[in-house]
Amino acid sequence: MPAAAVLPLLCFFAFLAGLIDGMVGGGGLIQLPALLLLLPEVPVPTVLGTGKVASLAGTLASLARYLRGAGAVPMRWRTVGVAAAVAGCFALLGARAVSGLDKDLVRPLVLALLVLMAAYTFWRKDFGSLHAPRLHGRRELLTGVALGAALGFYDGFFGPGTGSLLLFAFVGLFGYDFLAASASAKVVNVATNLAGLAYFISTGQVLYHIALPMAACNMVGSSLGARLALRRGTSFVRVLFLVVVSGFILKLGWDMYRG
Closest residue by Cα to residue 198 from 88, 34, 100: 88
pLDDT of residue 101: 60
Amino acid (1-letter code) at residue 23: M
C-alpha torsion angle, residues 192, 196, 201, 204 (rounded to 10): -170
Quote the pLDDT of residue 235.
79
Amino acid identity at 69: G
Instruction: Rank 28-32, 45-49, 63-67, 97-101 by mean pLDDT and report only the highest.
Output: 63-67
Q: What does pLDDT average to over the chain?
A: 84
Task: Give the pLDDT confidence of 197-242 residue by residue, as tens digits.
Answer: 888 898 898 999 999 999 999 999 999 988 888 888 777 777 877 8
- The pLDDT score that the predictor gives to residue 117 is 74
Q: Are 30 and 17 in contact (CB under 8 A)?
A: yes
Contact call for residues 185 and 163 (beta carbons, < 8 A): yes
pLDDT digits (tens, 9 = 90+) for 145-196: 999 999 999 887 767 678 888 988 999 899 998 888 989 999 999 999 898 8
Give the pLDDT band of residue 56 (cuts 50, 70, 90). very high
Span 73-127, pLDDT tens digits: 888 899 999 999 999 999 888 877 765 666 566 667 767 877 887 787 777 766 6
